[in-house]
Structure 1
Amino acid sequence: MITELFRGPGGWAEGLRQLGLSDVGLEIDTAACDTARAAGHTTIQTDVAAYPTAPFTGRTRGLIASPPCQAWSRAGKRGGLADQPLVHQAVHDLAHGRDTRAELLAQCKDERSLLAAEPMRWLYDLRPEWVCMEEVPDVLPLWKQYALYLQRWGYSTWAGILNAADYGVPQTRQRAILIASRTRGVTAPDPTHAKSPAEDLFGDCLKPWVSMAEALGWGATDRPAPTVTAGGAKSGGVEPFARGGRDALRAAQVRGCWTWKPGRPRTLTPSSIAIDAVEAGLLQSFPADYPWHGAKGKAQEQAGNAVPPLLAAHVVSAATGIPVQAPADLAAA
């Protein structure tokens, strides 16, 4: 089986679906569990830190994880920053078969910080064929620590930063990614899109970035949206139009999410958080009919925090060698 830790509403699972795969996910949040189950993804509601690995031992081919990373969060008072050395220590200890989580947790300023070390407990016990992990860019040093131990165990690894827009997701979302495999050499997945596509020596050309307008069906083409957060579109910054002009502007004004910024011709700037869970899901590359559950705020939080399915599909493809299927091929299947 493929085992997923910290499933959320099912971003990784939707990506796996594009590869003809499925997984069993563990998640503690009730609304996220309801969403994932409604979408057809097998989900166990549980605390990952308390769940035993024994039921999965000898049965897990792939392990996926997007753990909460409060120790690297830029939000709020950032009290968990002091916990980073404790997380690294927990990963080191678990990689050597020593469970010091209780001792280290007692020293943490944020009790959620050590969740970022949980995947190592599962990796040590399960030794899956392949591994895929994702988090915010600041977590990259932790992923490199994981990669060091995985290499010692015989895995080929790659750890780096990927931009979701380079894989067809209509937002410029930077993520720290770890890919590992015991059976094949791994590297970063080849991008399918580019900000300014150019033909190579063979006449091939990547697709242009998918715009927010295209994703939301506004009938215009601009640049991708800024990163979608738990509350919706991130305010601040300016997104220039590549094409679309005044018609796109009028469509945006009707939507109420974007306004014209005086003195900057042919640009739009986000002025308020005004997208719902369905729209946030579309900007994450979820299907338009994805069954978001929970109150409005919880649904938006799920969509904003999820792994973009298209990015997930390409990351798992790099780990497994299974090609990402085009939407038409998926429909036919």
Structure 2
Amino acid sequence: MASHLDPAGEQVRPVQIVDLFAGPGGVDVAAEKLGIATVGVEWDSAACATRRAAGLETIEDDVRRYGPALFPDADVLAGGPPCQTFTVAGTGAGRRALDEVLTFVKRMVAREDREEIAKDLAKLEDERTGLVLEPLRWALEAIDDLDKPYRAIVLEQVPAVLPVWEAYAEALRSEGYSVDCDLLRTEAYGVPQTRKRAVLIARKGDEPVNLPSPTHRTYRKGVPREVGDNSVKAWRTMDDVLDRDTPFLVISNYGTGGDPKARGRRGSWEPSATVTGKISRNRVVSLDGAELDRFSFSEAGRLQTFPADYPWSGKDVGQQIGNAVPPRLAIHVLSAAFGWERPDESVLSRLETWRPVTASGDGDAVADREAESTAV
């Protein structure tokens, strides 16, 4: 698989990804399977417990206390800022402050005083809204303070954040990046779950960068999976990734159309509905209505394309899983950001099992990583 090009045209593999708001490791799992080292910054102690159990290098702290100067080996920036203030299910403070956030982007690109911007961010209705601007701060500091721009930048969030990513795109283009951003549907990349994400990828230099092309059909309720564009595969189902012996129905905890009595339903022969932190509340029943075991953490993780044996740890595991980036989607997005060929099943199948890679750099872990890197 071809490596991406640096601005001078030299073939270069990423040295390390610094992953902001890293969660339990969706991007990091994908990176490790591509043979790329990662370090994640995450302040949620439960997510950090999972990351450490998985052998992922982790800094448990507030992203705002750090910057690119503390990660000199990292040449790729990734991030998925907290979404609570932007989601429909959340407070809505981020959506109400959207115009202010877009103004902050312009102020940051204009190089207004950082301390003044920080003071004004603190005045937002919910301080978490301002966290969506942290990746831009890191990107600009890498340029201004280190004269070492990130070779690639990868960001994802809920759909409501797309206008922010579009403002980022304009800002990054002015700094010499090629950028693409849009909404991606996870089932179109082989994730057995319908979920929309706003994704931005940027690469330093003039070479065009594009979001990954879909590999699977988009799910449409009532339309058989065999029907549609023959140039891509059929969407994957819950049955494809779970080991249950008989067909089942999942009855969502959420109402449909605002009616709590109209619970959403998906059959095991369909993709899962969006996995949220409340997935353990979803009922699982047989086709004749008998109650079955609800999804285990391993099963919920598999619907997000985490390995079956991923070591979920700490508290609020359901929330960790619901907040995570699906690793299968992340492999596609990272490969597109680096200008690599589309990953084939030999690469994606690595997600079926987890192999811890410790931060200590012991010989076996390093050998495993080098072997994977050579295989890519």
Range into which the TM-score falls when normalised by the shorter chain: 0.7 to 0.9
Q: Which runs of 5+ in 1 are unaligned?
A: 237-246, 257-273
2:59 maps to: 44
Which of 104, 113, 119 aligns to 2:129? It is: 113
CA distance in 1, matches of 2:328, 2:118: 37
Distance 1:103 1:278, change over 3 A: same
Tell me if structure 1 keeps the 8 A contact 2:212–2:333: yes
1:255 maps to: 292
RMSD over equivalenced CA pairs, Å: 2.6
Letter in 2 for 1:91: V
Letter in 2 for 1:186: V
Give the deviation of 1:294 after TM superposition: 1.1
CA distance in 2, matches of 1:287, 1:120: 31
Give the deviation of 1:28 after TM superposition: 0.5
**Is residue 2:74 matched to residue 1:55?**
no
Give the deviation of 1:95 after TM superposition: 2.2
Matches for 1:15-34 after TM superposition, within 5 Å: 15-34=30-49
1:223 maps to: 270
Q: Deviations over 1:143-199 (max 9, x none)?
A: 000000111111111110111111111100110000111143211212221144569
**Is residue 2:232 matched to residue 1:206?**
yes
1:188 maps to: 211
Matches for 1:175-324 after TM superposition, within 5 Å: 175-183=197-205, 184-194=207-217, 195=219, 196=225, 205-219=231-245, 222-232=269-279, 249=287, 253=290, 255-256=292-293, 274-295=294-315, 298-323=316-341, 324=343
Give the deviation of 1:51 after TM superposition: 1.5
Matches for 1:119-130 after TM superposition, within 5 Å: 119-126=135-142, 127-130=149-152
What SS does structure 2 have at the residue aligned with 1:302? Answer: helix
CA distance in 2, matches of 1:278, 1:176: 26
Distance 1:101 1:35, change over 3 A: farther
What SS does structure 2 have at the residue aligned with 1:72? Answer: coil
Tell me if structure 2 keeps the 8 A contact 1:63–1:130: yes
CA distance in 2, matches of 1:210, 1:88: 37
Tell me if structure 2 keeps the 8 A contact 1:71–1:82: no
Distance 1:132 1:76, change over 3 A: closer
User: How many pairs were matched up?
Assistant: 299
Q: Which runs of 5+ in 2 are unaligned?
A: 1-15, 143-148, 220-224, 248-267, 354-370
Q: Deviations over 1:32-73 (max 9, x none)?
A: 11111211211111100122332235x332110100134422
What SS does structure 2 have at the residue aligned with 1:228? Answer: coil
Distance 1:185 1:197, change over 3 A: farther
Of all paired residues, the percent bearing the same amino acid is 40
CA distance in 1, matches of 2:91, 2:339: 42
Tell me if structure 2 keeps the 8 A contact 1:134–1:176: yes
**Is residue 2:82 matched to residue 1:68?**
yes
TM-score, normalising length: structure 2: 0.73
2:345 maps to: 326
CA distance in 2, matches of 1:40, 1:322: 26
Give the deviation of 1:96 after TM superposition: 2.7
Give the deviation of 1:278 after TM superposition: 1.8
CA distance in 1, matches of 2:213, 2:45: 35
Distance 1:182 1:17, change over 3 A: same
Give the deviation of 1:102 after TM superposition: 2.8
Q: Deviations over 1:113-134 (max 9, x none)?
A: 1000111110102220111100
Tell me if structure 2 keeps the 8 A contact 1:218–1:248: no
Distance 1:32 1:77, change over 3 A: closer
Matches for 1:4-15 after TM superposition, within 5 Å: 4-15=19-30
